[in-house]
Amino acid sequence: MSTLIRCGICGGPMVIEKTQKPRYRCDASRGNGGTCDNSRTVMEDALRDAFTSAMLRYFDRPEVVAHLIEASKAELARAQRTVPDEKADAEKSLAETRGRIDNLVELASRGAAPTAVLEKIRELEALADKREHHLQELGAALEPLDAPRPEDVVARIRHLGVLFDKSPKDAREALKHLLDDGIQLYPLENGHYRARWTVRGGALFFVGTPRHKSSRA
């Protein structure tokens, strides 16, 4: 997931032009990364306002929210079915790495160890750390998670609108996560753009709350 705003004509990224007022324009139309006929620009604040109000209207329908919650539950259930096997594999790999470290330490303790052996021990310890970390992440994925209530979902979307003013970067990251393929803008005959976007099934559990914690202190 790289770009949030895409050109509906060529599928490439639309990038901010720092003019008096920031506006989006298809990057390829400026000769970057290809060619595109779509040179129409759209003001960033106008796009943001139109998008946040469309988003609120979309999430204002209970049947839409109910459907998204069901999709999220299904995705979570799928993940929880596969994680126990992954976790067993990860435990095996970690035990194997630790066994190799023990052997080398044993070897080194019996006499003057060549630098290469010490080097190898350090390398394996780094690998063991990485495996340990992965194992913790898998453990976190298995923790039970409550399905969001419809009102929580709506509150989060409202919060996203506010976030755009406070921290546009965080808001963009949250949106990338929430949408399947960003926002595609199609130029219309009348000089406007039509925006298309789809909410990713399964995204609701994770908006704004990273599910895999990087460490659990």
Which residue ranges make up the site for Zn ion (CB under 5 A)?
Answer: 7, 9-10, 26, 28, 36, 38
Q: 120-159 burial by CB neighbour count: b if 16+ within 10 A, else e? A: bbeebeebbeebeebbbbbebbeeebeebeeeebbebbee
199: which DSSP letter? B
Contacts within 8 Å (CB) and 24+ apart, 139-146: 139/87, 140/211, 140/212, 140/213, 140/216, 141/79, 141/80, 141/83, 141/211, 141/212, 142/80, 142/83, 142/84, 142/87, 145/76, 145/205, 145/211
Alpha-carbon span 84 to 213, nearest angstrom: 17
25 vs 156 by CB, closer to Zn ion: 25
Choice between 4 and 26, CB closer to Zn ion: 26
Give least dist CB 41 to Zn ion, A: 12
The nearer residue to Zn ion, 9 or 83, going by C-beta atoms, is 9
Nearest distance from C-beta of residue 16 to Zn ion, angstroms: 15
Least distance (Å) between residue 65 CB and Zn ion: 33
Q: Which is nearer to Zn ion, 7 or 65 (by Cβ)?
A: 7
User: CA–CA separation, 14 vs 24, rounded Å?
Assistant: 6
Residue 51 CB, nearest distance to Zn ion (Å)?
Answer: 19
Nearer to Zn ion, 28 or 204 (CB): 28
Query: Cα separations (Å) of 158 from 5, 7, 21, 85, 165?
Result: 20, 26, 25, 38, 12
Shortest reach from residue 181's CB to Zn ion, in Å: 15
- Quote the least distance from Cβ 11 to Zn ion, whole Å: 7
